[in-house]
A and B are shown apart, each in its own frame.
Chain A
């Protein structure tokens, strides 16, 4: 059973600003599905269409079997949505926000407390504090609680970890894993490639177009070439020289290394080292490296 079906979705802002360009994907029930892409790729637009906040200009989409245009009322009582921007009432306390959202969904905090228990326990000491005075990570947790309080079947999280410190980010993903075990489908978007591995399946998206949909593992294993990481005394020169080298298929900076792949599968990397030395570089280090989602993304561009 599929929780979300998107078919040839198109969203155009103004006259010709295409935010979502003919996107199709299916999300299975109970999986964590990640929309991975840089800022401005169209992730938020897709989310807003799926949460019935935006009308699509073409194609169709359904959530839990309900059409986003026709059956928007059913969808609104079934999904949880956490926008990228913190949008709870800053002048209400943690407890009041939670109670408020429970009430407008015609439920009570007590009824679905089991869903948020693990998260809410961390918030409990601050329950009378105003939401606006919480730290970034706490705000995210509260927003997640509020999005969960009506026991949604599908949870939409739009860049939930943007602007959150690494420890909180890790915690946040742990929470999502727990929620998954409660049979809640989670659709999450993120610009961070490293978070992609936490998802069951991901869709790589760029400029409104889908580049690839698969599990992170499959995407990585389908990377066709052997990838090497190269380091030398001068990164700038190294990149320039690599680009000129005819054997190189692609090369780009990746942290303190440059990632390189070669055209010929049987290529001997020692040849490359000699070439680089000839070009006047020293302290050369060249090793095989594991492919990451980011490499796949760059490859697909």
Chain B
């Protein structure tokens, strides 16, 4: 016990003397949580649309006005031929082309039917996808208005129509921040846990202090615990800072039990610090550790369900995410913070993360040899 106390004392002295670590611990959550959710926005605005109006009727003008007034689109070209408009796409000036055919108004009135042509620049997949969906919605809306003008509304619809009313639970306004902030906080906690632990031990190897430690009668598990606990505490500090920022800046207050949240983070931090330890036992220099860690962190974050939903991944990728601790944390964070899930709901994730913690730490202790 006394040994651990002194190891911790030494470790904290070193951390507090290392300005860059301290700076990162305080600065990183603030910057990432304030800047990232604002910048990385899923909502697509300012879609440039080029219009080819072959009709020049009052209806076509109305349609164009409706498209531009929706707020999502910006009219970048009013062209007379498709080739002309296509040049705009080629020069990256337009994301969408909306072509209104000749006799749009006449056919619409006479034959009750008309076709529009939409061409999409699909280089930016998200933008193209969402842009065309928005445009469809606008056109559908327009269609409804047109129908109202022509058809006397009956008391009952002649054709049965299913009208869908959707309501978004847990995030009624579909606010992107509410969805992103817990996810970013999860990756932050992961990075603190993984990087700091891995780099700390490898630094001792690099400087040679581990040699001196190895000839002492200090016990393996004492040494490892002395390394785990400080970064486990730092991880909790970062997490708390993150929660405060989420509350102050985004007004996100965890719906679920705070204690449960911290309980989960506690186990989770043990798991990722264990992972950091494990990496450090394989690396000889900080440079190596950094690169190996980056490799894993990139996969963890991109396949963790932060930016793209795990559910929409191919089956093989879903299997990969099962071995990704970050995906569990992001899931649980969203469950507890947004949905207010209880212990019973997060028990499976808690079990898996505990298993991760045991495997990583066990493997790390096994792999950490005092003799070469």
A in complex with B: yes
Residues of A at the B interface (CB closer than 8 Å) are: 48, 51-55, 72-73, 76-77, 79, 81, 83, 85-92, 96, 100-101, 103-106, 146
Whether A89 contacts B211 by the Cβ 8 Å rule is no
- Chain B contacts for A103, CB-based, 8 A: 2-3, 6
Q: Are B216 and A76 in contact (CB under 8 A)?
A: yes
In this assembly, does B159 line the interface, its C-beta being within 8 Å of a C-beta of chain A? no
Indicate if the CB atoms of A48 and B372 lie closer than 8 Å.
yes
Binds A, one of B13-21, B61-69, B289-297, B342-350: B13-21
B212, CB-defined interface residue at 8 Å: yes
Within 8 A of A (CB), among B1-45: 2-3, 6-7, 10, 13-14, 17-18
User: When chains A and B are docked, how far (Å) is the Cα of A222 from the Cα of B113?
Assistant: 117
In the complex, what residue of chain A is closest to B213 when comparing beta carbons?
A: A104
Task: Beyond A87-B209, A87-B212, A103-B2, list 19 extra A-B contacts (CB 8 Å).
Answer: A52-B371, A53-B370, A55-B371, A55-B372, A76-B215, A76-B216, A81-B211, A81-B212, A83-B212, A87-B211, A91-B14, A92-B10, A100-B10, A103-B6, A104-B7, A104-B218, A105-B216, A106-B2, A146-B212
B207 touches A87 (CB 8 A): yes
Q: Does B125 interact with chain A (Cβ within 8 Å)?
A: no
Given contacts A54-B371, A104-B3, contact A86 B217 (CB under 8 A): no
Inter-chain contact A96/B10, CB cutoff 8 Å: yes
Is B171 interfacial (CB 8 A cutoff)?
no
Which chain A residue has the least Cβ–Cβ distance from B216? A104
Could you tell me the distance between the alpha carbons of A105 and B3 in the complex, rounded to whole angstroms? Answer: 9
Closest chain-A Cβ to B81's Cβ sits at a distance in Å of 71
Residue of B nearest to A78 (CB): B217
Q: B314 contacts the other chain (Cβ, under 8 Å)?
A: no
Interface residues on B, range: 20 to 34
Q: How far is the CA of A86 from the CA of B207 in the complex (A)?
A: 8
Contact in complex: A53, B215 (CB < 8 Å): yes
Query: Which residues of chain A come closer than 8 Å to B208, judged between CB atoms?
Result: 83, 85-87
Residue of B nearest to A105 (CB): B216
Q: Which residues of B contact A91 (CB under 8 A)?
A: 13-14, 17-18
Given the complex of chains A and B, what is the CA–CA distance between A86 and B13 in angstroms?
A: 20
Ranked nearest first, the 9 interchain pairs of A and B with the lowest CB-CB distance are A87-B208, A77-B217, A103-B6, A81-B215, A76-B217, A87-B212, A85-B208, A54-B372, A104-B216
- CB contacts (< 8 Å) of B207 on chain A: these are 87, 90
Check if B214 is an interface residue, CB within 8 A of chain A: yes
Cβ contact within 8 Å between B212 and A88: yes
11 A-B pairs within 8 Å (CB atoms) are namely A76-B216, A83-B212, A87-B207, A90-B207, A91-B13, A91-B14, A103-B3, A104-B217, A106-B2, A106-B3, A106-B217
Q: Which among A79, A90, A106 is the interface contact of B215 at CB below 8 angstroms?
A: A79
Residue ID in chain B nearest A73 by CB atoms:
B217
Closest B residue to A85 using CB positions: B208
A48 partner residues in chain B, CB cutoff 8 A: 372
> Would you give the shortest CB distance from B202 to chain A, in whole angstroms?
15
- Give chain B residues whose Cβ lies under 8 Å from the Cβ of A146: 212
Q: Are the CB atoms of B215 and A104 closer together than 8 Å?
A: no
Cβ of B216: which chain A residues have Cβ within 8 Å of it? 76-77, 101, 104-105
For the complex, would chain B's binding face be called helix, strand, loop or mixed by DSSP majority?
Answer: helix
* Given A76-B215, A86-B208, A53 and B14 contact (CB-CB distance below 8 Å): no
How many angstroms between the C-alpha atoms of A96 and B7 in the bound complex? 12
A77 to chain B minimum Cβ distance, whole angstroms, is: 4
Q: Roughly how many angstroms separate A52 CA and B218 CA in the complex, as a whole number?
A: 13
Bitwise interface map of B from 202 to 231 toward A, beta carbon under 8 Å scored 1, else 0: 000001111111111110000000000000
Which chain A residues lie closer than 8 Å to B14 at the CB level? 89, 91-92
The complex places the Cα of A213 from the Cα of B71 at a distance, in Å, of: 91
The answer for the CA separation of A48 and B211 in the assembled complex, in Å, is 10
Q: Which of A77, A103, A105 has the most CB of B within 10 A?
A: A103
In the complex the two chains form, what is the Cα distance from A90 to B371 in whole Å? 23
Residues of chain B contacted by A77 (CB below 8 angstroms): 216-217
Q: Is B10 in contact with A53, judged by CB distance below 8 angstroms? A: no
A255 to chain B, nearest CB (A): 35
Which B residues touch A106, using CB under 8 A?
Answer: 2-3, 217
Residues from chain A with a CB closer than 8 A to the CB of B10 are 89, 92, 96, 100
Q: From residue A258, how far is it (CB to closest CB) to chain B in Å?
A: 41
Q: Report the separation of the CA atoms of residues A53 and B212 in the bound assembly, to the nearest whole angstrom.
A: 10
Q: CA of A143 to CA of B61 in the docked complex: distance in angstroms?
A: 86
A141 to B214, CA, bound (A): 20
Q: Which residue of B lies closest to A99 (CB)?
A: B6
Other-chain contact of A53, B6, B7, B371 (Cβ < 8 Å): B371
Contacts of B6 in A (CB 8 A): 100, 103-104
Q: How far is the CB of B361 from chain A (nearest CB, A)?
A: 21
CB A266 to nearest CB in B, in angstroms, measures 55
Min C-beta distance of A151 to chain B, whole Å: 13
Q: What residues of chain A lie closer than 8 Å to B371, measured between beta carbons?
A: 52-55, 72
Cα distance A48–B3 in the bound complex, in angstroms: 25
A90 to B206, alpha carbons, bound, how many Å? 12
**Scoring B residues 179 to 220 as 1 if CB is less than 8 Å from chain A, else 0, what string do you get?**
000000000000000000000000000011111111111100
A53 to B370, CA, bound (A): 6
Provide the bound-state CA to CA distance between A103 and B217, in Å: 11
Give, as a whole number of angstroms, the nearest-CB distance from A37 to chain B: 21
Closest B residue to A158 by CB, please name it.
Answer: B211
CB A204 to nearest CB in B, in angstroms, measures 26
Q: Would you call B13 and A96 a contact (CB within 8 A)?
A: yes
Question: Which residues of A are found within 8 Å of B13, using beta-carbon distances?
Answer: 91-92, 96
Q: Return B9 CB to nearest CB of chain A, in Å.
A: 8
Alpha-carbon gap, A79 to B215, bound state (A): 8
Question: Which residues of chain A come closer than 8 Å to B217, judged between CB atoms?
Answer: 73, 76-77, 104-106
Q: Given A91-B17, A96-B13, A103-B2: A51 and B209 within 8 A (CB)?
A: no
Closest to A84 in B: B208
State in angstroms the CA–CA spacing of A73 and B371 once bound together.
11
A77 to B13, CA, bound (A): 25
The complex places the Cα of A154 from the Cα of B274 at a distance, in Å, of 36
Closest chain B residue, CB of each to CB of A152: B215
